[in-house]
Amino acid sequence: MTSKVVSFGEIMLRLSTPGYLRFAQANSFDACYGGGEANVAVSLANYGLNSSFVTALPKNDIGEACHKELKKYGVDTKNIRFEGERLGIYFLETGAVARASKVVYDRAYSSFSQVKKGQFNWDEIFEGASWFHWTGITPAVSQGAAEVCLEAIKAANQKGITVSTDLNYRKNLWRYGKKASEVMPELVEGCDIVLGNEEDAALVLGIKPEGLNVTGGHVEAEAYRSVSQQIMSRFPRVKKVITTLRGSISANHNSWSGVLYDGKNLFTAPTYQITHIVDRVGGGDSFMGGLIYGLLTYKGDDQKALNFATAASCLKHTINGDFNQVTVEEVEKLMGGDASGRVSR
C-alpha cells in the first residue's frame, strides 16, 4: 500500500523577474506557484506517494488555476477549502555572484491567513495517513494558522502519525503580535522529525551551534551534533534531527550536503558542488520531500534516506520554479555517482 503523506500550509502565486533583472528593471514577471508544504507535496507525488495537500484558496479564477496546477502533478486536493478573496503572492528577484536574491511578500489577508480552528476535519483528513508535515512558515502567517497547525499536530499525535517540520524562520512574516520563539516550541513538542539549519535553531529555539562559518563557503557537519542533542533533550518526542549544509561561495555557486542525527549516530551525505544554480528557491523543501520519501522507502537505512534527500535537492537547483520536478530514477542515478548530465536517449 502506498504511504499517504499529508501536508498543511499556504501556496502562493510566485512572480519572478526574468533572468537576473532587478525589480526596478523588470517590465514583466514570470508566474508559477509555490510554498513550503506545497513544494513538499509535489515532490512526494512525483515519487509516487499518496500526497495530500491541505490549504485554503480563494474561490476565483486564480485560486482555481492554482488548484489545477497541484492536480496536474498528482497531488490529492480534496481537502482544500475554497474561501476568502485572494491568493498570497511573493515577488522574487534572483541574485547573481555577490548580489543575493530578494523576496518581497504580498500575502496579507490571503485566504489561508484567515483559517480558524475547527474548519478542518482532521479525523477525515488523516484517514489512512502515516505522515504529517508542516513548516515554520505556516504559524508565522497568522494566529489562526498557528492554532490550526497545533490542532493538526495534536490530532496526528493521537493517531500515532509521524510528524515532521522544517523550522523555516521567516522574519518578515511574524507580524501578528507573536514571536517565533513564543509559538514554535509548543508545535515542535509534537514532532518526530525536525529539519532546520543553524539560523533556524538559534532564532526559533534559542539553540546555537559553535565553530560555524557559513559565509566562508565551508560548513563543518560535526558542528551540528551539539545542536541536535540540545533539540532532542528539550523535545523528547524528536527521534531525528536533520540539517542541510549550504556553503555559499556566491549566489550562483553553493556547496550542498546534509547531516542526520538519530540520537547516537551522525550521518553525513556526500557534498555536491552546485556551480551553476538555476533556481535555489524551494531547495530546502525538495530536501524535505526527498527525506520523507527516503525514510518511508528505505526503512532502517538513514544514510540512504539522507543521501536521497541531498541528491534530490541538488537536482532541484537546476529547475526553474518552486517545484522539484524530478523522478526517483533521476535522483538514484545521481546518488549512484552519475553527475555527468549526459543526454538520456
CA distance 150 to 144: 10
For the stretch 243-288, pLDDT in tens is: 998 888 998 899 999 999 999 999 999 999 999 999 889 999 999 9
For the stretch 60-81, pLDDT in tens is: 999 999 999 999 999 999 999 9
Domains held by the chain: number: 1
pTM: 0.93
CB distance 87 to 66 below 8 Å: yes
In a domain, 343, yes or no: no
CB distance 341 to 280 below 8 Å: no
Query: DSSP 3-state assignment of 230?
Result: helix
165-179, 218-232, 247-261, 307-321: the lowest-pLDDT one: 218-232
In a domain, 255, yes or no: yes
Q: What is the CATH number of the domain that holds 175?
A: 3.40.1190.20
pLDDT at residue 64, rounded to an integer = 98
CA distance 86 to 88: 6
In a domain, 337, yes or no: no
Owner of C-alpha cell 527516503: 294
CA distance 19 to 53: 30
In a domain, 10, yes or no: yes
For the stretch 169-209, pLDDT in tens is: 998 899 998 999 999 999 999 999 999 987 899 899 988 86
CA distance 3 to 17: 38
In a domain, 340, yes or no: no
**What range does the domain containing 304 cover?**
4-332
CA distance 41 to 36: 9
Question: What average pLDDT does range 322-333 have in this prediction?
Answer: 96
In a domain, 261, yes or no: yes
In a domain, 345, yes or no: no
CA distance 42 to 13: 15
What are 225-234's contacts with CB under 8 Å, separation 24+? 225/261, 225/266, 227/198, 227/201, 228/261, 228/266, 229/261, 231/194, 231/201, 231/205, 231/207, 232/261, 232/263, 234/185, 234/205, 234/207
In a domain, 338, yes or no: no
Contacts of 317 (CB under 8 A, 6+ apart): 254, 256, 274, 277, 278, 279, 280, 283
Output the CA torsion 197→302→74→18 (10° steps): 30
Question: What length is written for the chain?
Answer: 345
